[in-house]
Structure 1
């Protein structure tokens, strides 16, 4: 193997390692979100501390990946698709870190509800269904990134609007609760904040999917609205 081939092989290994770290970070965010929703359903608020601790690890991983991206750009001076991959990864990890922050908000909101002696399940609100839909978007967006699958990425982008619609429905139900019984206001507001955090997790998954399209096709589709029919 000559020097040029050796350097190329090293570069491929660095890019592969970078992608692996992104998927590792994504897996941690998935676990965080899932744990927060499980706590909402079960009332096992002991997991909140571990969710908050996991958020610190996600933050550290984001910094490490950002450093690796900067190092690769400075040292390797990648072009074309390789440069798009590195730039896309730097944006993807920002969205994953923010999704982790939203998971932490969910966990803390759950703790406040149960510590106040309330049971969110009594409200009959479809938080768990909303969360499972958003979590599925996170999984699919990471799968799209792992396989650089544009079709799957576009499916995630389209499906995010369903999460937004469901979120609005939950808000309407909670407003009705508050109007009918003012005693529910405090808990309803906490559930609204949890629902909003879940909806934002869906948004971050959509952003990851948009970066997959950018990495593969070089198209920046952020902020482009679907044409109305």
Structure 2
């Protein structure tokens, strides 16, 4: 359900255009989330058919990006939005870029399975590690999208802090992969495959964090891209005059 802060203009058509921008973004986000979920399922279960579907589905995500970009640019040109309306359009444009990259990363996970011709598979323990990290990333992404939809800076701040746990998981998986390659040269291919998936998941976490920052910008009117978490908290807690 869209936040009721959108709208309230003299022109109902303008309200509808702003709502459509957010609705299309949320539809794109839903697709990208499904792509990521399917990519992880495909990799964990060695489901090559599902991996191929993920790879093919990336074009739909890209088409969403073009459609939303054109819609937002049309609003900028014709409506010349200001204040909150301008921040909304800019936040949608920024978030669209992050969501498109998430779709690319889902495809990368699928391709990690499809490119492997050796038939060697990670151990159950290795797959469990990736699955755990993947679940955290997917939950973080879902909550980031919800924070944007609800224009909730407090939730966005809480969600972006979850990225630290994902970074920790990534570091642990990479350390185990490196040790495995050093101990047994025959594991190099599998370890590289695991590393590719873990890196893609880590990058999804970064993009989810970006979406949270866009939400804070939308709500507070501050560009917070390069602030520390403590500085972000100060921005979120400060009331606008």
TM range (shorter): over 0.9
CA RMSD, Structure 1 to Structure 2 (Å):
1.6
**8 Å Cα contact 2:33/2:138 also seen in 1:** yes
Give the structure 2 partner of residue 60 of structure 1: 63
**Which whole-Å CA distance do the structure 2 matches of 1:216 and 1:64 have between them?**
25
Where does structure 1 differ by over 4 angstroms across 4 or more consecutive aligned residues? none
Give the structure 1 partner of residue 144 of structure 2: 141
**Which whole-Å CA distance do the structure 1 matches of 2:158 and 2:186 have between them?**
41
**8 Å Cα contact 2:161/2:229 also seen in 1:** no
TM-superposed deviation, 1:225 = 2.0
Which residue, 208, 213, 218 being the options, matches 2:221?
218
Structure 2: unaligned runs, 5 residues or longer: 1-7, 232-241
**Which whole-Å CA distance do the structure 1 matches of 2:209 and 2:170 have between them?**
15
**8 Å Cα contact 1:164/1:199 also seen in 2:** yes
Give the structure 2 partner of residue 19 of structure 1: 22
Give the structure 2 partner of residue 93 of structure 1: 96
Which residue, 123, 126, 149 being the options, matches 1:124?
126
TM-superposed deviation, 1:110 = 1.7
Structure 1: unaligned runs, 5 residues or longer: none
**8 Å Cα contact 1:37/1:131 also seen in 2:** yes
**Which whole-Å CA distance do the structure 2 matches of 1:141 and 1:221 have between them?**
16
**8 Å Cα contact 2:51/2:114 also seen in 1:** yes
Give the structure 1 partner of residue 167 of structure 2: 164
Residue by residue over 1:117-159, the C-alpha shift from the partner in whole angstroms, topping out at 9 and shown as x without a partner, is 1122345350011111111111011101111111111111111
**8 Å Cα contact 2:40/2:134 also seen in 1:** yes
**Which whole-Å CA distance do the structure 1 matches of 2:83 and 2:229 have between them?**
27
TM-superposed deviation, 1:111 = 2.1
**8 Å Cα contact 1:120/1:191 also seen in 2:** yes
Secondary structure at the residue paired with 1:14? helix
Give the structure 1 partner of residue 114 of structure 2: 111
Which residue, 151, 156, 160 being the options, matches 2:154?
151
**8 Å Cα contact 1:127/1:195 also seen in 2:** yes
TM-score norm. by structure 1 comes to 0.93
**Which whole-Å CA distance do the structure 2 matches of 1:31 and 1:121 have between them?**
25
**8 Å Cα contact 2:43/2:51 also seen in 1:** no
TM-score norm. by structure 2 comes to 0.89
**Which whole-Å CA distance do the structure 2 matches of 1:142 and 1:123 have between them?**
31
Residue by residue over 1:179-227, the C-alpha shift from the partner in whole angstroms, topping out at 9 and shown as x without a partner, is 1111000110111011000100010011011000001111111121235
